[in-house]
Amino acid sequence: MSDEPTADIIETVRNDLIQLTTLPNSDETITQRIIDNINKFEYDPSLLDKNLPLLIGNIISGKLLVLITEYNKNKLIKPLFTDLSKIYYYFNKIFNWKKIARLLKVDIHILNDIIDILTTINSNNPHMEIWHANYLLLSWLYTVLLSPFKFNQNNLDIEIIALIESSSFNENDFFQPIISNIIAELYYKNKNLFNFYYQKKYDNNALLSYNYFFKKIIQNYNTLENENFLDDNEFLIENIIDTVLIENSNNTKINKLTGEKEQHIIAKIMPKFFFIELYHENWSSLEYIISWYLLNLNSTFTELRFSIAHSFRKVIDIITKYMETDIAVQLIESKIIDETINMVSDAGYFSDSIDIDKLHSNLIIIAEISPFVIENISLSSLKKIIHTILPFTFKFQLLNNQNIVSLKGNQIKDATNFICWSLIRDRNLKRIVMNEESDKGEVPLLQLLYDTILLNLLMNSLFDKDFIIRKSSNAALQEFLGRIKDISQGSNLYTSIDSMTIMKLIEIKFNDLNLSYKENLITLYEVFQYGSTHQRGLPDPFFQMIIDWFIHYNILINSDLQIVKMSIESIKMLTETLTSINSNILIFDNIKGLVTGDNVISPESPLKCARLLYLITETDPLSNKISNGVRTKLYEDVISSNYHIVKINEDYFKFLSILKHWNVQIYGDGKFTIDENMVNFFFNNVASSTQTANSSIWFDDISNLFSDLVIYATSEDDSCFSSQNAKHDFFNKYQKYITFNNELICSPLPILPSELFLSLFEKYKNSMSCQCKAVMIKSMTNHFKDMIHPNFIQSEIEESGDTPFIDMICEFLNDHTITEQGDVGRLVREQACYLLDKHLIDFPPFAKDKFGIRLLYLMAEPSNEISYLSLKILREKYVPHFKMDHSPNHHTLCILEIRDEYFATSRTCIAADFKRERITFWKHFATRGGAFRSTDEQLSSCLDDFIIWYEDKDRTEEENIIIFHELINSIPSAATILNELDKREKSNIITTATLCINLLTRLISSNAVFYTTNWEGILIKFHNLLILNGSTMLRVTILKFLPFLSLVHSFTNEKLENTVFVNKIINKLFNVVKKYKNQKDKNSFARTALQSLTQIYLENDDLNKIDKLKTLVKSNFSEDDLDAFDFYIQA
């Protein structure tokens, strides 16, 4: 909903409708404004409720009736009729169609007009023009048929059915419910029609019509007419049921109608069949119908399962109302509850053996019939749902073929939340809780509500990976917290949760999952431990259950290993908050129970060993709580386990736990020795499978742990290796994997001793991929303080005068490597910018100057990430007094203003010194404003900002001339291209020239006015480029530019002088036409030159020359007509 007041929007719709219906013709603007305003109520249609009669009345005013009458005269639908129908349809989009249809005028006199239009409209008008008109007319027809009249005179009802069942209506799904309701209404008014049409037709629409027809019969089944109908047509109705259901020795399945849509209709009509067969006391049919439900609970269609569950609830309601409640209880307990218990008892939390579709249907049914469950089934069955089914389904997960958690499993959790929401809202729940008799050995219902429902709703609302589950869990949790005080009032089992605790729980944020894991476990501890005493709120044992849930489920069982790692980190942060005593009671006693006694984790479960190993190394790195022997045993079980050939998350998590174990040994008190087995394991398993940053979701974690290992391995203590062979093997393999462009291995290069790092980089940099350089720079950023020894940068200058480290950074900032993957150099430039953003202050002043100009160039380039970051660094570190606020909408303007500020304030700035740098800036800027592949919005913003900057009133004409010369000089000369011998570099130069020329073309076309006194020199430069053999794109770009050069010259020169200059351009274009006149390709140089000539003549209003050009082309470029002089502009 917009910020505009609701009343104002409604008033606007009403006024627009009145205006529209008073116009002689349609008005598209008014129509669209009405529709846009209607759509504003999509998420809360109730705001329109009381105004609907008035608004619909405006649509069907006298004007529409006039249009209907006019149509029946000339058989042509007017646009205003179509627009009013369209507006009517949009009301139906946000409301139930029947609700809107009942607001239409019930006037029996317009029935024939509606029928006449529907009869002829489809053949006389294009389909797209009449769709909405048909929708309105069919709705109106339904409303008129609701009037208390019979429609069988002269077989009118048969005529109507024949009309609306024609293909033009019947093939449109949007019309289906209206058509079926119309037919049902006619059947109800003339029940003989039902018998007649049953013999004639059976399909999807017919079945839906039967559904609405039987619904009307059942609503008034005790009238004499309807009782007679049911009695007289018992056999016919049974035939319909038999057509839908067929019995054989094995099952009862859907017959004929096998699509999802058709099955939805069957689910709708089943309760009506059940009622009618109960009325006839046809017990075998009742069994068939129940069997249909039970056998189709495993439908693969999600929406259909909801339809079946909703339909089954209606059958239970019928059984309860018209039969014996015990029958419904037995059916629910034996076929739904007990079968669900059997399913969950035989499966794990993420077992793929369970029939997930059937489980989902059963859960939805339990939720749908929750009032019946609470009121009628036994207390033991209710407890089974809460104590046995829900603990399983709260935690259910399903793995797909890639061993990744499937979203389909979330349907089970969502249905579980639906059950909890339904149960806790039932007003009878308090009565059952209060009346429960204590029974030794059986858990009280109220305790189950706390221990199962509250605990799991709270945990899933905060820590489930899927936002939809967190949201639905939170909705159920809020219902629970809002009602549990009242439900538990008077019980001495728990002191009620006080209002403050409830508010604190409700206020906990859950939108950001990462933040939730970082903060919310500690928040829960504070709520339950400090926010409440043992006399107020939940006692301390409840938080112990939260920790149990974290360790026993979310860490040891959860199949999503990302969540496992986040949970361990959350527990670690909690241990840092707790006192030693509380951490022992809550966490470490819990862990000890998993590694000692009967519950010790088996080495046959290496992944569980890895989970536990990672938990222990994170929470107890110094082995103060858990013995080192336990950790070593877990480590040995993990490292000796089997690994997949193609590594999956399970393998990477085991790698993570192994590296973490090595890490705590490196920094612990115990001596850590790298032996040959470790070297082989790491390179043969971890490094070989972690080739790129995309190999594993934990690449950064593995990289950081490996970096610590490299630091340890390169220390001066030789005893860190078990032997010289192990050390030799480690460094040999390390360099070997650098040549493989292994990103994991390249990442810790910067933390090697500085001399070694520089020598290795120099050795391998030419073969190193940009991806490897990028991760290496990222590591450099993270370890900058450690990798740069005191005075390292200064000492390298003093000793040799060279600055290899600073030169390396400059190379990174200028890396424009292009491969088949595109601009991969962008990865290097971006990481280099992040490095300078964080550590520029650590470099000496001369390095800052070197970096500054390169950042200026990067700021001008099209990559938004790099441009924004460069701009940020320049503003903060180079031009801190720059006043202009940065706006993404005027980013280019900010770039140009910072350029001016930089060149004006740089401490080494002398105007002449920066001539080359200013020109180079425009080469980089051309990649932004001259790019051939860019969105119209980006180009428009860039060019508009340039014009704003260039036309600054404070800029002198002399400064504008300098800018134009810089733009011209940014275009590489023909000599530069000819003298370049390297093919790749020559290609780059040509590309630069093309982009720079294209930038100038766009600027001039955007009305930029440039000044110079050297027009002839500029023309010569373009002439030399034009006659170069080589790039077709460059030459075509020049040919397209020449008319714009002519145009910009005319802005600043006298007419005679301008005519001479323009004719020189015309002469060069004609030379191209002569040279390439025989080319047939439509993109040929000759064709482009002709287009440019035409453009010049149009700018000079010389249409005669355009006619002469046409003659020239028609003559096939006859030599007699190819005299350029004849095509010159006259002064």
pLDDT digits over 991-1032, tens only? 999 999 999 999 999 989 898 889 999 999 999 999 888 788
- C-alpha 876/C-alpha 881 separation (Å) is 9
Residues 6 or more apart in contact with residue 960 via CB below 8 angstroms: 950, 1010, 1011
- C-alpha 863/C-alpha 1000 separation (Å) is 20
Res 990: pLDDT: 93
pLDDT digits over 1059-1094, tens only? 888 889 988 888 888 888 776 654 578 888 889 999
What's the pLDDT band for 72 if we cut at 50, 70, 90? low
Of 5-19, 125-139, 729-743, 925-939, the least confident? 125-139
What's the pLDDT band for 833 if we cut at 50, 70, 90? very high
pLDDT digits over 353-412, tens only? 789 999 999 999 999 999 999 999 999 999 999 999 999 999 998 766 555 556 778 999
pLDDT digits over 754-802, tens only? 888 999 999 999 999 999 999 999 999 998 887 765 455 555 554 555 6
- C-alpha 1088/C-alpha 1043 separation (Å) is 11
- C-alpha 584/C-alpha 578 separation (Å) is 9
Residue 174, pLDDT > 90, answer no
Res 954: pLDDT: 81
Local structure of 605: helix, strand or coil: coil
Task: Give 619-622's long-range contacts (Cβ < 8 A, gap of 24+).
Answer: 619/568, 619/571, 619/572, 619/575, 619/587, 619/588, 619/591, 620/588, 621/664, 621/667, 621/668, 622/664, 622/668, 622/669
Give strand pairing partners of 819.
822
Of 340-349, 521-530, 576-585, 883-892, the least confident? 576-585
- C-alpha 855/C-alpha 859 separation (Å) is 6
Task: Give 1115-1120's long-range contacts (Cβ < 8 A, gap of 24+).
Answer: 1117/1073, 1117/1074, 1117/1077, 1117/1086
Res 910: pLDDT: 46
Query: Half-sphere exposure of residue 620, counting CA atoms within 13 Å on the CB side?
Result: 20
Distances (CA, A) of 283 to 275, 277, 316, 873: 11, 7, 15, 82
- C-alpha 1131/C-alpha 1009 separation (Å) is 22
Residue 552, pLDDT > 60, answer yes
Q: Are 781 and 832 in contact (CB under 8 A)?
A: no
Give strand pairing partners of 674.
721
Residue 599, pLDDT > 70, answer no
Taking phi first (over 0 means left), then psi (-120 to 50 degrees means alpha), and beta for anything else, what does residue 600 get?
A: beta
- C-alpha 317/C-alpha 216 separation (Å) is 18
- Mean model confidence pLDDT for the chain: 86
* More confident site: 801 or 141: 141
Residue 1054, pLDDT > 50, answer yes
pLDDT digits over 41-55, tens only? 988 888 888 999 999
pLDDT digits over 406-464, tens only? 677 899 999 999 999 999 999 888 888 888 776 666 788 888 898 899 999 999 999 99
pLDDT digits over 654-713, tens only? 999 999 999 999 987 657 899 999 999 999 999 999 999 999 999 999 999 999 999 999
With pLDDT > 70 as the criterion, what percentage of the chain qualifies? 89
Mean pLDDT of 744-762: 92
- C-alpha 365/C-alpha 312 separation (Å) is 7
The domain ranges of the chain are: 978-1127
Residue 852, pLDDT > 80, answer yes
Mean pLDDT of 326-345: 94
Q: Taking the CB of residue 251, how many other CB atoms lie within 10 A of it?
A: 12
Res 624: pLDDT: 82
Res 966: pLDDT: 94
- C-alpha 1040/C-alpha 1022 separation (Å) is 12
